[in-house]
Structure 1
Amino acid sequence: MSPFGTALLVSGPEALLAQRIVADVKARALAAHPEADVNQINAAELEDSMLAEVVGGSLFSSHIIAVIDDVGACPPQVVDQLVAVAANPPEELCLLLVHPGGVKGKGLIDKLKKAKVPVSTVAAPKPWELTKFVTEEAKLRKVRMSGDAAAELVSAVGNDLRALAAAVGQLADDAEGKEIDVNHVRRYFAGRAEVTSFAVADAVLAGNASVAMERLRWALDTGTATVLITSALAGSFRGMGRYLEASGSRMSDADLARQIGVPPFKIKDLAKTSRNWSVGGVADAIRLIATGDAEVKGAATDAAFALERMVLGILQLRRR
Structure 2
Amino acid sequence: MPARRPPARSSSASRIAIPQLDWRAPEPAPVVLVSGPEEVCAERAIAALRDYLRAEDPSLEVSDIRADDYVSGTLLGVTSPSLFGEPRLVRVSGVEKATDAFLTEALGYLEHPQDGATVILRHTGASVRGKKLLDAVRAGQGNGVEVPCPAVKRDGDRFDFASGEFRTAGKRIAPAALRALVSAFADDLTELAAACQQLIADVPGDITDQIVERYYGGRVETSAFTVADTAIAGRYGEALIALRHALASGADPVPLVAAVASKLRTMARVAGSRESTPSLAARLGMKDWQVDRARRDLSGWNETTLGMAIQATARADADVKGGSRDAVFALERMVTVIATRAPFGRSPH
TM-score, normalised via structure 2 length: 0.70
Residue 271 of structure 1: how far off its partner (Å): 1.9
The answer for the alignment partner of 2:61 in structure 1 is 36
SS in 2 for 1:224: coil
Summarize deviations over 1:262-308 as a string: whole Å, max 9, x none.
5544434422333435364355245324313423xxx6555444433
The answer for the alignment partner of 1:243 in structure 2 is 270
The answer for the alignment partner of 2:191 in structure 1 is 163
Task: Indicate whether 1:56 and 2:83 are aligned.
Answer: no
SS in 1 for 2:266: helix
Summarize deviations over 1:10-56 as a string: whole Å, max 9, x none.
12343222211111112233442625142142x4334xx35x32452
Residue 168 of structure 1: how far off its partner (Å): 2.8
1:69-80 alignment, distance < 5 Å: 69-75=93-99, 78-80=102-104
Partners in 1 of 2:213 and 2:219 — Cα distance?
A: 10
Tell me the matched-pair count. 309
Is the CA contact (8 Å cut-off) linking 1:68 and 1:96 kept in structure 2?
Answer: yes
The answer for the alignment partner of 1:114 in structure 2 is 139
The answer for the alignment partner of 2:294 in structure 1 is 270
SS in 1 for 2:78: coil
Question: For structure 2, which runs of at least 5 residues remain unmatched after alignment?
Answer: 5-26
The answer for the alignment partner of 1:24 in structure 2 is 48
Which residue of 201, 208, 219 corresponds with 1:192?
219
The structure-2 alpha-carbon separation of the partners of 1:145 and 1:136, relative to structure 1 and needing over 3 Å to count, comes to same
The structure-2 alpha-carbon separation of the partners of 1:223 and 1:23, relative to structure 1 and needing over 3 Å to count, comes to same
The structure-2 alpha-carbon separation of the partners of 1:75 and 1:226, relative to structure 1 and needing over 3 Å to count, comes to farther
Partners in 2 of 1:118 and 1:173 — Cα distance?
A: 32
Bigger mean CA deviation after superposition, 225-234 or 140-149 = 140-149
Is the CA contact (8 Å cut-off) linking 1:240 and 1:282 kept in structure 2?
Answer: no
Counterpart residue identity of residue 168, structure 1: C
Is the CA contact (8 Å cut-off) linking 1:8 and 1:96 kept in structure 2?
Answer: yes
Partners in 1 of 2:314 and 2:175 — Cα distance?
A: 35
Residue 259 of structure 1: how far off its partner (Å): 4.8
The answer for the alignment partner of 2:166 in structure 1 is 138
Is the CA contact (8 Å cut-off) linking 1:130 and 1:263 kept in structure 2?
Answer: no
Question: For structure 1, which runs of at least 5 residues remain unmatched after alignment?
Answer: none
The structure-2 alpha-carbon separation of the partners of 1:100 and 1:169, relative to structure 1 and needing over 3 Å to count, comes to same
Partners in 2 of 1:291 and 1:125 — Cα distance?
A: 23
The structure-2 alpha-carbon separation of the partners of 1:260 and 1:193, relative to structure 1 and needing over 3 Å to count, comes to farther
Is the CA contact (8 Å cut-off) linking 1:205 and 1:273 kept in structure 2?
Answer: yes
After TM superposition, which residue ranges in structure 1, 4 or more long, deviate above 6 angstroms?
none
Residue 128 of structure 1: how far off its partner (Å): 4.9
Is the CA contact (8 Å cut-off) linking 1:36 and 1:64 kept in structure 2?
Answer: yes
Counterpart residue identity of residue 15, structure 1: E
Task: Indicate whether 1:308 and 2:329 are aligned.
Answer: no
The answer for the alignment partner of 1:178 in structure 2 is 205
Is the CA contact (8 Å cut-off) linking 2:79 and 2:117 kept in structure 1?
Answer: no
The structure-2 alpha-carbon separation of the partners of 1:132 and 1:199, relative to structure 1 and needing over 3 Å to count, comes to same
Partners in 1 of 2:307 and 2:317 — Cα distance?
A: 16
SS in 2 for 1:57: helix
The answer for the alignment partner of 1:153 in structure 2 is 181
Is the CA contact (8 Å cut-off) linking 2:81 and 2:116 kept in structure 1?
Answer: no
Counterpart residue identity of residue 63, structure 2: V
Q: Percent identity?
A: 25
The answer for the alignment partner of 2:23 in structure 1 is none
Is the CA contact (8 Å cut-off) linking 2:309 and 2:337 kept in structure 1?
Answer: no
Residue 121 of structure 1: how far off its partner (Å): 2.0
Higher helix proportion: 1
Partners in 2 of 1:101 and 1:58 — Cα distance?
A: 25
Partners in 1 of 2:170 and 2:292 — Cα distance?
A: 30
Is the CA contact (8 Å cut-off) linking 2:166 and 2:200 kept in structure 1?
Answer: yes
Counterpart residue identity of residue 11, structure 1: S
The answer for the alignment partner of 1:228 in structure 2 is 255
TM-score, normalised via structure 1 length: 0.76
SS in 1 for 2:195: helix
